[in-house]
Amino acid sequence: MRILKLKCESSIFRPLIDFLETNLSCTYKNEDDQAVLMAGEEYRFRTNSQQLYFMVIRKKDADLFIDLVCGGGGGGLFSISWGSEGAFINKAERLITGFCKDNNVMVTRI
């Protein structure tokens, strides 16, 4: 399993959710005023298996905290993922940082 935590300004909460929903194949979403849980599952050719990912995006005061989690991409006896879990994390991070840059919002790893 791979995990990445990001932090940025909460002013982009709703636009970021809409952007991620459009650019990632999320099949589950649960949200309220302060937090969103988005999840999806994708087939990974390199491991011949399904891979689950989810994102938790929550507001706290003026900050937005984003947790990216990906797992289950391993295949075979030793459940080797061949980097597929990290590939999703990198893709989601690039999408989020690009969106933040376009909106003049600073994003940091925590």
Q: What local confidence, expressed as pLDDT, does residue 94 receive? A: 97
Q: What local confidence, expressed as pLDDT, does residue 74 receive? A: 57
User: How far apart (Å, rounded) are the C-alpha atoms in residues 105 and 26?
Assistant: 24
pLDDT, one tens digit per residue, over 38-82 is 999 877 676 677 788 999 999 999 999 999 999 875 555 555 556
**Rg for the chain (alpha carbons), in Å?**
14
| 27 backbone φψ class: left, alpha, beta (φ>0; ψ -120 to 50) | alpha
Three-state SS annotation for 42-65: EEECCCCEEEEEEEEEEEECCEEE
